[in-house]
Amino acid sequence: MNHPPNKTKRMAFMISGAMDALIGAVLLLIGFGWLPVDVTDYGFANWHVGLIGAVMFILGTITFAYNFSRIDE
């Protein structure tokens, strides 16, 4: 598998962005109360978890989409 280094970097960023988006989606579900996880036991409010999840989901999606659009370069 002789991929050019640029394509390998983009693939790594795509995997990283997808993982961030998935973790952010799970945190959003916890923040909205749709998953039965009580984050107040750890000292966080639900809106803190929701805010962190939203930021991670948005940035992960942007990272994935940008690198996916440039994969052929």
Q: Which two tokens stand for residue 28?
A: 């959003």
Q: What is the pLDDT of residue 1?
A: 62
Closest CA to 16 of 53, 50, 67: 67
Q: What is the pLDDT of residue 6?
A: 84
Contact 67, 14 (CB under 8 A): yes
Q: Label residue 68 exposed, middle or buried (CB < 10 Å: 0-12, 13-18, 19+).
A: middle
Between residues 23 and 73, the one the model is more confident about = 23
**pLDDT digit string (tens) for 3-15?**
787 888 999 999 9
Tell me the pTM: 0.88
**pLDDT digit string (tens) for 14-53?**
999 999 999 999 999 999 999 999 999 999 999 999 999 9
- Would you say residue 73 has pLDDT above 80? no
